[in-house]
Amino acid sequence: LQAKMSKRVQARRLEGTEKNIWVEFVKLATTYSTVNLGQGFPDFPPPDFLREAFERILSGGNHMLHQYTRGFGHPPLVKILAQFFGKLLGRELDPMTNVMVTVGAYQALFCCFQAFVDEGDEVIIIEPFFDCYEPMVKMAGGTPVFVPLRPKAPKDGKLMSSADWQLDPAELASKFSKQTKAIVLNSPNNPLGKVFSRQELELIADLCVKHDVLCISDEVYEWLVYDRKEHIRIASLQGMWDRTVMIGSAGKTFSATGWKVGWTVGPNRLLQHLRTMHQNSVYHCATIAQDAVAQGFQRELELYGKPDSYFIQLPKELQQKRDWLVRSLDAVGMKPVVPEGTYFLVADISEFKSHVPDVPDSDEPYDSRFAKWMVKNKGLAAIPLSAFYCEAHKNNYSHFIRFCFAKEEATLKAASDILQKWKQEKSTP
Ligand code: PMP
């Protein structure tokens, strides 16, 4: 079989999943962790109104909701998404052509790369990045081109913020070429929690317009922004609507990652290609989950901007959890980078290095060895930051680990207790 494949096609098959960070770390967390702040999912329930909607649908009289619905998105859901995002973008959206529902944001991403990226195309990815972008670009036959966010030292002994990680404008511009088909933007960014500023987005937008490049805008954490920061949609900037696909997730929006309902919003000229991909791959997403998410958005549209809105409540609660984890990490000397958004933060492990036995001459990035040791010996699961860098850059930032703080108070407290105890052991000669 190998002999029948060209080198390029073989590269698209990639290495298999053994080397995948999630396969490896989810297994480690399941085997060893007592406290899991690794993978990104809440350990608290979705809001009552969403669960009640699901239960009502399940036990209600409309048995047709157990059957197939429209393949490109259940009509009530695409209608409310068009209304909701139309309001946010200040433009009329057609539910049938400007919105498509997907099996989570993950499938939306896969559809985008398959639909737009061909052999010879380059796709710019900003590091650190949600790890699946790289293999997905390669599976479509494209070449990922990486550009890093570069950290600047914070002023006056302050904690570093995710805003201190910035693109170098000249370096970013140098990555755009005739081969560039698309750039992937993820704001708020997983893993740093960076919320791109208007100025940063304008820089990206100008380059996209100048080089006729598409923007795949992964906005799954759009509601999770703190300290009155504003999430700006790049599609709302001059010249960008026509070249942007916005991607969202009910998993992140309504704290229900297992439902796997996601969506894309964009111009028909782009979405028509996503529909082809969707039609010929998964075709359809679970009807009941789509109907319940539609009811969730209906409620949120009515409460938009009001204190009872979940999109106000959730970030308020998460900001408290963020602050609590920031304080606990700071107190033990695992310096956190304070995130402006998402439910992740990365923390500097340098001060703990001498207390973790090391494997000399290992090719594996240090943070990965550290995170494995930590889960096996302390029962605390986190994800190494190097997992969010391409192979060539993995060792550039290998003294941070990522924690997820979308967790119950008791879970965060248990994590803090582990770190406190570890710190005490560290200081006892
Ligand atoms: N994009 C980013 C940046 C994510 O962090 C995730 C989930 N971890 C996804 C997309 C996938 O979202 P979903 O669960 O809706 O498929």
Domain positions in the chain are: 13-46+310-422, 48-303
Measured between its terminal Cα atoms, the distance across the chain in Å is 59
Decide: 341 in ligand 1 pocket, CB within 6 A.
no
| Best probe residue, ligand 1, of 249, 255, 344, 404 (max atoms within 8 Å of C-beta) | 249
Distance in Å, CA 91 to ligand 1 centroid: 26
d(CA 313, CA 305): 10
pLDDT at 12: 67
Decide: 191 in ligand 1 pocket, CB within 6 A.
no
Judge whether 28 and 375 are in contact, CB under 8 Å. Answer: yes
Judge whether 407 and 346 are in contact, CB under 8 Å. Answer: no
Q: Is the peptide bond before 360 cis (omega within 30 degrees of 0)?
A: no
What dotted CATH number matches 48-303?
A: 3.40.640.10
Decide: 253 in ligand 1 pocket, CB within 6 A.
no
Q: Is the peptide bond before 188 cis (omega within 30 degrees of 0)?
A: yes
Tokens 């407290």 correspond to what residue? 413
CB atoms within 10 A of CB 146: 18
d(CA 147, CA 145): 7
Decide: 222 in ligand 1 pocket, CB within 6 A.
no
Taking the CA of residue 342 as reference, the ligand 1 atom at the shortest distance is 5
Decide: 38 in ligand 1 pocket, CB within 6 A.
no
Shortest-distance Cα residue to atom 7 of ligand 1: 40
Judge whether 420 and 382 are in contact, CB under 8 Å. Answer: no
Q: How confident is the model at residue 427 (pLDDT cuts 50, 70, 90)?
A: confident
Domain 13-46+310-422 belongs in CATH node 3.90.1150.10: yes
Q: For residue 126, is pLDDT > 70?
A: yes
d(CA 341, CA 225): 4
Tens of pLDDT along 51-89?
Answer: 999 999 999 989 999 999 999 999 999 999 999 999 999
Distance in Å, CA 105 to ligand 1 centroid: 5
Question: Do the domains 13-46+310-422 and 48-303 sit in the same CATH topology, yes or no?
Answer: no
Radius of gyration of the chain measured on its C-alpha atoms: 22
Tokens 């390029």 correspond to what residue? 8
Residue 225 DSSP symbol: B
Decide: 218 in ligand 1 pocket, CB within 6 A.
yes
Of residues 369, 377, 367, 318, the one with CA closest to residue 344: 318
Over residues 109-121, the mean pLDDT reads 97
Q: For residue 3, is pLDDT > 80?
A: no
d(CA 328, CA 421): 12
What are the residues facing 298 on neighbouring strands? none
Residue 153 DSSP symbol: P
The tokens for 227 are: 């300290």
DSSP state string for 248-309 = EEHHHHTT-GGG--EEEE--HHHHHHHHHHHHTTT----HHHHHHHHHHHHHHHHTTTSTT-
Distance in Å, CA 356 to ligand 1 centroid: 31
pLDDT at 201: 98
Judge whether 167 and 203 are in contact, CB under 8 Å. Answer: yes
Cα atoms in the Cβ-side hemisphere of radius 13 Å centred on 115: 23
Distance in Å, CA 378 to ligand 1 centroid: 28
Taking the CA of residue 249 as reference, the ligand 1 atom at the shortest distance is 15
Over residues 268-280, the mean pLDDT reads 98
pLDDT at 154: 82
Task: State which H helix or E strand residue 427 sits in.
Answer: helix 409-427
Tens of pLDDT along 353-392?
Answer: 888 888 878 889 999 999 999 999 999 999 999 999 999 9
Distance in Å, CA 253 to ligand 1 centroid: 11
Judge whether 259 and 289 are in contact, CB under 8 Å. Answer: yes
Q: For residue 108, is pLDDT > 70?
A: yes
Taking the CA of residue 251 as reference, the ligand 1 atom at the shortest distance is 15
C-beta pairs of 309-312 under 8 Å, 24+ apart in sequence: 310/47, 310/49, 310/254, 311/223, 311/253
Decide: 104 in ligand 1 pocket, CB within 6 A.
yes
Tens of pLDDT along 317-327?
Answer: 999 999 999 99
Decide: 195 in ligand 1 pocket, CB within 6 A.
no
Taking the CA of residue 130 as reference, the ligand 1 atom at the shortest distance is 3
Distance in Å, CA 262 to ligand 1 centroid: 9
What is the model's pTM? 0.96
Taking the CA of residue 260 as reference, the ligand 1 atom at the shortest distance is 15
Decide: 262 in ligand 1 pocket, CB within 6 A.
yes
Crossing angle of helices 366-378 and 21-32, in 10° steps, is 20
